[in-house]
Structure 1
């Protein structure tokens, strides 16, 4: 089996998922890596990363202009789509890794649909257009309303997260579905205990960071949208594996307790779960996305070592007093939606029985 050297990802501490760190964490899709040009990107949400995603060459959306956001930021335009909005068209707010995978999976069932993506910068508009996602800047005012809207943007790049969510809702026509991708961080459990869809959340006012997510969730639920709280995300990327364990391998010794329980879900599974929820056209519901195989930090690194896929060797976790985690279980979500993950566990993802 070939060995994989750890790629030099910047800001690697951002790899650790918010719900698996402390009750003060706040990242939804917690990975930061180098872009295809090698430039350094901010820690947190992987919105500006070049991702290899298959696309249908005959997709109508690929013919759309890549300059959907041209013009003054305050300019009111007819909208970024070409012509009339169709019954299966989608808007993605924050089309990073998760949003791009959602677009790919959505188009598999809706090959003629239009997909637009709202971004903070135009840095990766050509990449998005190549994937069949017509991009436009956040500042661009659009009049169109879409039947399917998914909000994947992180709170780290805005001063008014709930306001951004409200703006996205204003572009939802009330049909189809609106989905907000949140995090399992708000669940009020820090003793490695069990936690499911109905477990209590952190009370508003205790943590400003979890308040941001909970307030945004409330905006969505009040509007009839749905929320999916996702566990720690990871993915195979450029022939390497991306996740918190990469950071730990690079560090060698980590000042964190080894028995802290983590919960994981592969990016592809998070995307398929999101698409499944939207296709159900549900209203005002909260779902949970995880692989139902909680593992401790130490177990993660034991699996990495056992896989034999990495040339680096991990030293040890030395912490003793940092918070514990939670053991997520989303059996209710799976049963209601009829959904199962492609990657049932991190061990199976690594090929370790």
Structure 2
């Protein structure tokens, strides 16, 4: 297998994948919009490229494996906007293209279960943009697109512990609210499995096995730290940013059976309790 990967939008999730692939001899080029992050990316064994300052045309033609983490903006998908024609020409030479989407494409199901066959009925602008972007990527002839719909991502330095420690965490209570989540390491393992067993046109949900109310996660984090459980605040009374409040507009439980069945994926952290415990252990080592 040709171990070259172009990672467009080399952020939190892509870095977790790179941490698995670089020791296996992969050559990875990762793009970033921040010049300040170039050295940090290089220190992980990934070749950094500043984009959109740099032209990626040659890289799309050269690299057989591509990971797209860049989110759509107000003008649509930023990669397709600039390089749609390039990808149209390069498609037949690409072995695997992974597009990181979100389970927000399913919209609100009032706590009910969704899977990959559930109609896409997003209720937020972000979800609607993702539906459009998914379709745009899938419309390119001969491009071996693999769509990964990710639940709420957490992992090292991205979780509830900091807010619990500094006393700003709250348990926001909204009747019937439930979210699915996934540890970033489990996303990385699933992406690696897909790279090893490509299936053009595949769509996979990626989440753990235990959808849960957000207040339960905050409460458990406090217990792990040996700190008081943060106060409960009714959703209607909570002071929240519009972005934070929008997440509560949707409640659903996401199934992950398909990726388990087709790729043999097994989450290392099947619930938030095991994931949080691992994060805390990592900090304490």
Q: Quick check: TM above 0.5?
A: yes
Structure 2 portions without partners, runs of 5+: 238-247, 279-285
Cα distance in 2 for residues equivalent to 1:256 and 1:270: 28
Number of positions where the alignment pairs a residue of Structure 1 with one of Structure 2: 256
Match of 1:208 among 125, 128, 148: 125
Say if 2:11 is the partner of 1:96.
yes
CA RMSD between the two structures: 2.7
Higher helix share: 2
Which of the numbers 137, 147, 152 marks the counterpart of 2:50? 137
- Counterparts of 2:215 and 2:115 in 1: how far apart (Å)? 23
Rounded Cα–Cα distance in structure 1 between residues aligned with 2:92 and 2:164: 44
| Aligned twin of 1:243 | 159
Distance 1:165 1:269, change over 3 A: farther
Write out aligned runs for 1:68-147 (5 A).
87-109=2-24, 111=25, 113-138=26-51, 139-142=53-56, 143-144=58-59, 145=61, 146-147=63-64
Cα–Cα, structure 1 residues 275 and 90, in superposed 2: closer, same or farther, change >3 Å?
Answer: same
Query: Match of 1:217, SS?
Result: helix
Deviation at 1:253, TM superposition (A): 4.2
Match of 2:95 among 165, 169, 176: 176
TM-score, scaled relative to structure 2: 0.79
Structure-to-structure mapping, 1:329-348, within 5 angstroms: 329-348=255-274
1:229 is aligned, of 118, 132, 149, to 149
CA deviation map 1:206-257 (0-9, x unaligned): 64332211111112222331110011111133xxxx3257557743545551
Select between 126-135 and 318-327 the one with higher mean Cα deviation: 318-327
In structure 1, the gaps of 5 or more residues are 1-85
Assess, with a 3 A threshold, how the Cα gap between structure 1 residues 306 and 147 changes in structure 2: closer, same or farther.
Answer: same
Report the CA distance between 1:173 and its aligned residue: 5.8
1:164 and 2:164 matched = no
Does residue 306 of the first structure (1) align with residue 232 of the second (2)?
Answer: no
- Aligned counterpart, 2:242: none
Say if 1:192 and 1:325, in contact at 8 Å, map to a contact too: yes
